[in-house]
Structures are given as C-alpha cells and as structure tokens.
Amino acid sequence: MTRHDRLVDGPESAPDGTTDSTFLGGIEFLTGPGATLGSFLLVVGIVTCVFIALFQFALPDPVSNLLTAGVVFVTVLTAGFAAALERVGYFGRETPANATSGERRPAAKPWVPTERPSAPLPPIINFDAELRAFADMFDGTLPPAFDPFIEDYRRLKTNTENRATIASDLRADLNPIGTLFEVGSEGDRLYEELSDRLFRYVSTRNHLRLDRVAFYDDTGTETAVTALADRLGSVEFEITNDGEAADVAAVVTLLDATGSAIASRSCDAGRINPGATTALTTDIFVPADAVDASTRLRLSAPSGTTTDA
C-alpha cells in the first residue's frame, strides 16, 4: 500500500487528510475549483507584474530593485511549485462536490437534444408539454419505461429526413408507458393523446390544410363566383401547415356548368413552417360561363418538381 493509499483509507491518517484538504483549498482560493496549470500561472504572472510596477514607480533605487528581485525569485519558486502540483495531478481534477452533484442531479429535460441541434417539430408531434406533465407526475424524474421513447423523441427532433419512420418507432415505445397508468387517470389520458397524434401523423399523406377560400369583388366585398362573371375579382386563401416545413402554392380552377376547367390561377405562398398559418390574396379574372371553382395545394420539391398536396 502506498502512502497515498494510507492517507485515503487509513483511519489514523484523517488529520493529515484534513490538513492536505485545507492546503489545497487555499490554492483553490486563488485559482478557483478545477483550475488548470495555465490559469494558475496566469494569476501568478498578473500578481508579479502588479508588484514589480508598484515597486518600480513608488519606491526609489536601490530599494525598488531589491524588492523587484525578491518578487522575481518568489515567482520562480511558485512556478516550480506549480510544476510539482501538475505532476501529482492537482490541476484539472474534478472537485468532490461537483462530482457528487453531477451523479445525483437528474437531467431536467432529458427529451431536449444536447449533442445535435434540433429542428422545429410540427405541432402534431411536439410532445414537450406532455413530457413535462409526465415528469411532474414522477417528481421530476421519468421512470425507465420512458427511456426508449425519450431516445427516439430526441432522434425525431434532430432528423427531418425520415420522421414518419421514427414516429412509428415512437408508437411502439409508448406501450410500456401505457402500463404505468390506470385507465381513466391523467397519465392514461396523456398516453392516449400521444398515441392518437402519432397515428394521425404516420397515416396522413400530408398535413397541409386549406382553411379558407373566399372570392371578393372590386369593392372588397366577399361574393360568389357567379357574381364575378366576366369581371376581375380576387381570391383569398388561408393555409395551415401541421407537418414539416414546405414550399406551397394554392391553385384555384374555375369550372363551367359541365364541370370542365375553363381557367385557373396559381398563387405562391412560399415556405410555410411547421404550425404556421399563411393568408394570401391574388387577382383573378372570372369568365362569363364560370359557375363554380375548385382549389388545391401544390408542393414544390427541392429538385424543382411540383406535386399536388
């Protein structure tokens, strides 16, 4: 057994350990906990410069030179002392208090990615509020049954390429969570809500909604298509995106009495972010034989191709 082992483990060495702790604590007063050799030498250098300047400008020769030489001598001794501390591994060590608190402190929000930046989630699969509610039910620390769900949820936040696949994995991860709660409890309600939203996200082809389509005459009054026959009017769209960010255009097609398309007008809405609602208006000339209109949304792919939403 080495002398170091006896200092740590031997009951008879407790007073020496206390003295050593007090001595190193005095060094930490200057450097702060977890200091490096560089920070220690920086402090020593700053103090040395201050004293030399004070002696040189405030005291006459030869007193100033003698004191300056003394300061330089002490600095050299201190640098040697710092090298000895570096050799025994003092600098850069983690203080026991920090190590203990790091082991015992649970992650406040384990569902927040720390290694990679997260991308905005569509509201339908943003479960941050529900996870906070679950954490509150368990005094801030989620039980191990949540671990697979949390891991895949972090993947969902940092991956925009295959979120539908990850959402399917999340539905499977919900199974052990559902067993933690009684039917009808608040936890069971949250579990059912998460399951339903994941199902809708996975099973729906797209998550764009055309909430409103309205025609207006030249006075700004909302009117029917037939009232604009052979006149210039305008059409207003309101689009909501419950899915991923997308470049969207709204297309209105005017129809005659047989249901055949006789004219169409496209209006580019640009990029609509997850959870956002965009309203846009465009002018349109309505032919005399137009009796109805249909609307659709069109997506623009990064490659430049377009598909109907």
The SS3 assignment for 39 reads helix
Rounded mean pLDDT, 271-285: 90
Fold classification of 208-308 is Coagulation Factor XIII; Chain A, domain 1 (2.70.50)
The SS3 assignment for 6 reads helix
What per-residue confidence (pLDDT) applies to 102? Answer: 44
Cβ partners under 8 Å of residue 103, min gap 6: none
Asked which of 68-82, 101-115, 160-174 is least confident by mean pLDDT, the reply is: 101-115
Confidence of residue 52 (pLDDT cuts 50, 70, 90): confident
Averaged pLDDT score across all residues of the chain: 79
Q: Where are the domains of the chain?
A: 3-100, 107-203, 208-308
Tell me the DSSP string of 135-196: HHHTTT---GGGHHHHHHHHHHHH--SSHHHHHHHHHHHHHHHHTTS-TTSHHHHHHHHHHH
Our CA angle for 169, 174, 180, nearest 5°, is 160
Cis amide leading into 302 (omega within 30): no
pLDDT exceeds 80 at position 65: yes
pLDDT exceeds 70 at position 95: no
- Closest among 28, 77, 27 to 48, alpha carbons compared: 77
Read off the pTM. 0.48
- Beta-bridged to residue 285, according to DSSP, are 232
What per-residue confidence (pLDDT) applies to 273? Answer: 86
Sheet holding 246-255, edge to edge: 261-272, 246-255, 292-300, 306-308
Residue 181 · residue 193 · CB < 8 Å: no
What per-residue confidence (pLDDT) applies to 69? Answer: 86
Our CA angle for 276, 162, 209, nearest 5°, is 30
* Cα–Cα distance, 63 to 61 (Å, whole number): 5
Torsion angles phi and psi, residue 71, rounded to 5: -65, -40
Could you give the residue ranges of the DSSP H alpha helices within the chain? 3-9, 14-31, 37-58, 63-87, 96-104, 128-137, 147-158, 163-178, 186-203
Beta carbons within 10 angstroms of residue 269's beta carbon: 20
In the chain the first and final C-alpha atoms are separated, in Å, by 75
Angle between helical axes of 37-58 and 63-87 (0-180°, round to 10): 170
User: Positive or negative, the Cα torsion across 254, 257, 258, 259?
Assistant: positive
What per-residue confidence (pLDDT) applies to 35? Answer: 60
Asked which of 29-33, 59-63, 140-144, 279-283 is least confident by mean pLDDT, the reply is: 29-33
- Closest among 215, 221, 239, 238 to 291, alpha carbons compared: 215
Structure token pair of residue 171: 């539905």
E strands in 198-257: 208-216, 222-223, 231-241, 246-255
pLDDT tens for each residue of 144-171:
999 999 999 988 888 877 888 898 999 9
